[in-house]
Amino acid sequence: MTATIINGKEIAEKKRMEIAEEVSKLKKLGVTPGLAVILVGNNHASRTYVTNKEKACKELGMNSVLIELPEEISEQELLSKIEELNMDDQIHGILVQLPIPKHIDEKKVIESISPFKDVDGFHPINIGRMMTGQNAFLPCTPYGIMVLLEETGISVAGKHVVVVGRSNIVGKPVGQLFLNQHATVTYCHSKTKDLKGHTNQADILIAAVGIPNFITAEHVKEGAVVIDVGINRNEAGKLCGDVAFAEVSEKAGYITPVPKGVGPMTITMLMFNTLKSAAESLNRN
Ligand SMILES: NC(=O)C1=CN([C@@H]2O[C@H](COP(=O)(O)OP(=O)(O)OC[C@H]3O[C@@H](n4cnc5c(N)ncnc54)[C@H](OP(=O)(O)O)[C@@H]3O)[C@@H](O)[C@H]2O)C=CC1
Ligand SMILES: Nc1nc(=O)c2c([nH]1)NC[C@@H]1CN(c3ccc(C(=O)N[C@@H](CCC(=O)O)C(=O)O)cc3)C=[N+]21
């Protein structure tokens, strides 16, 4: 079988047009969604993502502010900046670009963001709300994956989903979203025995590992849906995912490429969450 390539960029653009329309409606009510992105230090990759996020905001008619802080900033100074943004009526979403320097406690930082402005969906309140099926900000990459499948017409209920990776930002929440949509979910990680035995059972396989070419044709069942979350650089410095694309696309039914797969959806769902936050702020005031 030759896999159908899921065009994440195209689906992201379609969704962004819908978001832009909602933004303009909200503006007529006097509210312009505003996103604050905090970048600590000078990580090259982080800078690229942050630039993409700002560009997307502008395209959709939203406000964005980039707050660049030096690597050496103290935890207390960062927390004060977040508190200032928590109080700012013009700001509906706050994102602290990860990773942050080691001397700052990441958990403390995430928990200091108002759950009402936590557009990353990383705050324990939003994670708990997601787990119990309540209204919540859903984490952008997992949410983007669900939208990709929905837009492609791939049903989830009853499917066996195998997630490779269990990070708090991708692996764990993506499995939870699939469970919420009635899939049967298996998590694999670095201590998993017989990884191939598990991945070969997958109707839908999610690769969120961070290692180039980690998932090969041998891991994949004929006709499976393969979602590649990885954003890595290969030896040649080229952007690549976790999946050996050429060989796996000979065997899978559907596959997402890198770039132009999951990545553009992550940013789109961030825009969606910022819009959602701005719309909900109207009802609170
Ligand atoms: N497209 C997008 O929008 C985004 C892409 N990414 C990309 O996704 C990838 C994963 O990111 P993230 O979840 O943050 O990464 P982490 O490094 O936090 O997590 C990696 C996971 O992979 C597991 N793992 C590592 N080695 C193996 C192995 N040999 N066998 C099985 N499992 C293994 C780890 O297991 P253990 O828990 O046991 O250590 C861990 O759970 C990265 O390439 C990242 O750049 C991330 C966010 C957004
Ligand atoms: N608080 C926080 N929230 C995040 O959502 C977050 C984060 N920290 N830290 C880093 C990861 C990574 N991430 C990506 C977003 C977009 C692309 C993306 O747009 N990728 C494009 C191409 C990018 C390129 O050309 O370099 C694509 O795959 O087509 C990738 C990766 C968000 N993350």
pLDDT means per 10 residues, the chain with 285 residues, are 96 98 97 97 84 92 96 98 98 97 98 98 98 97 98 98 98 98 98 98 98 98 98 92 98 98 97 98 86
> Residue 1: its pLDDT value, please?
77
Nearest-atom number in ligand 2 for the CA of 52 is 19
Bridge partner list, 40: 69
Q: What ipTM was predicted for this assembly? A: 0.98
Q: What does the buried/exposed string (b/e) look like for 96-106 if buried means 16 or more CB atoms within 10 Å of the residue's CB? A: bbeebbeebee
Whether 97 is a known active-site residue: answer yes
Bridge partner list, 227: 206
Q: Which residues fall within 8 angstroms of residue 247, CB to CB, at 6 or more apart?
A: 216, 217
If one residue of 190, 218, 238, 265 were mutated to test the ligand 1 pocket, choosing by the most ligand atoms within 8 A of its CB, it would be 190
**Contact present, 15 and 60 (Cβ < 8 Å):** no
Token pair listed for 101: 């320097």
Nearest-atom number in ligand 2 for the CA of 8 is 29
Exactly one of 15, 81, 97, 172 is catalytic; which is it?
97
Alpha carbon of 5 to ligand 1 centroid (Å): 22
Token pair listed for 175: 């499995």
Domains defined along the chain, listed by start: 31-114 (3.40.50.10860), 140-262 (3.40.50.720)
Nearest-atom number in ligand 2 for the CA of 98 is 8
If one residue of 43, 206, 209, 271 were mutated to test the ligand 1 pocket, choosing by the most ligand atoms within 8 A of its CB, it would be 209
Does the pTM surpass 0.80? The reply is yes
Query: What phi, psi does 224 have (nearest 5°)?
Result: -70, 160
